[in-house]
Structure 1
Amino acid sequence: MQVDSELNHSELSQGRAAIVSARTVVVKIGSSALTSLEGGLDTGRLDLLADAVEARMRAGSDVVVVSSGAIGAGLAPLGLSKRPKDLATKQAAASVGQLALAHAWGTSFARYGRTVGQILLSADDFARREHHRNAQRTLDRLRSLGAIAVVNENDTVATEEIRFGDNDRLAALVAHLVGADALILLSDVAGLYDGDPRKGAANFIPEVRGSADLDGVIAGSGGALGTGGMASKLSAARLAADAGIPVLLASAADASSALTDGAVGTAFAARPIRLSGRKFWVRHAADPRGAVLLDAGAVDAVGQRHSLLAAGIVGIRGRFFGGDVVDLVSPDGEVVARGVIEYDSTEVMSMLGRSTTDLPDTMQRPVIHADDLVKV
């Protein structure tokens, strides 16, 4: 779907211009753009997408590809007629499809003399700071050597508890990891609508400047081949916006335009002030190890970005240690913030509701310092 020409003079055209001129771009390609239930991997469509990526790279940009499709690519070779629901069969399909997918990307980019490096990541690789840094170094080195990185979730070993859930979120995390200037999400939809256009009348939304532009939008879940859907794309766009990265959501059929003039799909503006790397990790990448239950006063203090003190804590959930990330939960059960806790769970239990001046000298630091706390 082409964007109305009046957008060339609008505020968001600046956002599109930022995507067009971006030096480092992450391009996420959905399962439906690469595979079908009947035939598995469609190398013809993959070649067209590789053509668009290569053209962007030759224009001077550095591109990282986040490719879905491993499970979809493994269905036909294994004689499966639909996406499996059980974890073992998903992993078996991924083990077959991952090989085919990597080979197809390598063969396609080889037409341009381009070397491809495959990187398989799990959510745990982002939750653990050391793994996070290792992945960053590998991606940076591949790019410095002129290779193109093709990233996918490590479906063959990821359990339900440590999965990203969809590659839209993975793509947004990778965009932050490599310091991308833009994220382009390519799938089987032309952009954002306020409803499902396949089920009736729906209005196309070419620009999203902030949350107000999403009022009334109904986002659905994924299709037969993938796990994403519009809900995951909106979540990924918000995640990228926190990192100061503009997002373009477009159809894979419009990949050439999406990667050149940006005159397709829906553009999401980045937040003007991006989260620090540490706060971004706390909010989006870290795996919470427990929860701290707050009274109403502590919820207000956290909302005003004050440090969390023991006096406002009424209980805990789970076992955690100093340096772990925990959720902060309001009296009605809502997770209102997340932070890096200073004390072990046993220590926090001994501090419940106590004034800082009543605590031993070794426990007079905030339970969570404001610098290590972020609202969710």
Structure 2
Amino acid sequence: MGQVLLTVDDLIRRMNYGNARRAVGRLLHLGVVPVVNENDAVATDEIGFGDNDRLAALVAHLTHADALVLLTDVDALYDGPPSEPGSTRLQVVRGQEDLVGVRLGGTGSRVGTGGMVTKVEAARIATGAGVTTLLTSASSITDALNGRDVGTVFLPTAPRPASRNLWLAHASEPDGRLVVDDGAVRALRGRHASLLPAGIVRVEGSFDQGSPVEVVDRAGTGIARGLVAYGSDELPRLLGRSTTWIADVFGEAYAKEIIHRDHLVLV
């Protein structure tokens, strides 16, 4: 076995991501089982993964894993507290609609750090990246690996996305927010368009060019995340303007998207 310590940067930045993937791949090629942990020596609450379940889901994508197994002290996901009479085990979850009415609770377990809420969220991340996920208890791991009917299986909900899209959606911590109007929301959701300055109504936070930012509507609901082409100090003078106006006033170099669609992912 060999220990691998990761930070958020290792899953956000292109070079770091490639290096981490090659390192883990090389260990597997040599027959070494990688034991992955967060690098607590440099992590903080602001720039950490938050919990091991989320880290596991992101590493499953990093390694192109066929499946992810999440272990806890409960044998499966139930539609209510397992100790409550009448609660039923969910054998298979095919999508978010199968979780409607399911009551999740608890802040942690004796064998994990996240509790059922974060395990279901990790399963959502993994299945959204094309990775089948099994949630079960540590005592059921032998039966699980032998293919027996234990735990709850979460089926993939989407093909494996580009690595950058997964970084933006789940591994990046936005440095700021861009509030957009209804027209921009429709363009982003309906046409997967780039975000133009004309659709932005407000800038929140402080960030540099190339930083990850969150895009929200006027009510504060998250729409997308992306890598911004301007710093927060430059953006205010561009808001609500057309790219033609910007080019005439500031020059052609400024007549570009605030977030190009290739650097943007819907959430």
With normalisation by structure 1, the TM-score equals: 0.66
Change (3 A) 1:262 1:240: farther
Separation in 2 of the partners of 1:137 and 1:188?
33
Is 2:258 the counterpart of 1:363? no
Change (3 A) 1:359 1:281: same
Identify, as 1 or 2, the structure richer in helix. 1
Q: How far off its partner does 1:295 sit?
A: 1.3
Q: In the alignment, what sits opposite 1:176? A: 61
- CA displacement 1:7-45 (0-9 Å, x = unmatched): xxxxxxxxxxxxxxxxxxxxxxxxxxxxxxxxxxxxxxx
Q: How far off its partner does 1:205 sit?
A: 0.7
Separation in 2 of the partners of 1:149 and 1:326?
32
Q: How far off its partner does 1:307 sit?
A: 1.3
> Residue 205 of structure 1: SS of its match in structure 2?
coil
Q: In the alignment, what sits opposite 1:255? A: 141
Is 2:159 the counterpart of 1:273? yes
Separation in 1 of the partners of 2:36 and 2:259?
34
- CA displacement 1:280-323 (0-9 Å, x = unmatched): 11111123221111112212221112211111101111222222
- CA displacement 1:190-214 (0-9 Å, x = unmatched): 1111111134431211011111101
Over the residues paired in the alignment, what is the CA RMSD in angstroms?
A: 1.7
Q: In the alignment, what sits opposite 2:197? A: 310
**CA contact under 8 A between 2:76 and 2:136: conserved in structure 1?**
yes
Q: How far off its partner does 1:130 sit?
A: 3.0
Q: How far off its partner does 1:353 sit?
A: 0.5
Q: In the alignment, what sits opposite 1:222? A: 107
Separation in 2 of the partners of 1:157 and 1:356?
41
**CA contact under 8 A between 2:94 and 2:154: conserved in structure 1?**
yes
Separation in 2 of the partners of 1:268 and 1:249?
8
Separation in 1 of the partners of 2:148 and 2:253?
56
Q: In the alignment, what sits opposite 1:53? A: none
Separation in 2 of the partners of 1:358 and 1:134?
42
Aligned positions of 1:203-242 closer than 5 A: 203-223=88-108, 225=110, 226-242=112-128
Is 2:235 the counterpart of 1:348? yes
Separation in 1 of the partners of 2:39 and 2:257?
38
Q: In the alignment, what sits opposite 1:196? A: 81
Q: In the alignment, what sits opposite 2:38? A: 153
Gaps (5+ residues) in structure 1? 1-115
Gaps (5+ residues) in structure 2? none
> Residue 229 of structure 2: SS of its match in structure 1?
coil
**What fraction of aligned residue pairs are identical, expressed as a percent?**
49
Q: How far off its partner does 1:252 sit?
A: 1.1
Q: In the alignment, what sits opposite 1:117? A: 2
**CA contact under 8 A between 1:309 and 1:366: conserved in structure 2?**
yes
Separation in 2 of the partners of 1:157 and 1:125?
12
Q: 1:372 aligns with which of 257, 260, 263?
A: 263
> Residue 150 of structure 1: SS of its match in structure 2?
strand
Q: How far off its partner does 1:267 sit?
A: 0.7
Q: In the alignment, what sits opposite 1:329? A: 216
Separation in 2 of the partners of 1:369 and 1:237?
29
Aligned positions of 1:44-63 closer than 5 A: none
Is 2:70 the counterpart of 1:185? yes
Give the greater-gyration-radius structure (CA).
1
Q: How far off its partner does 1:324 sit?
A: 1.7
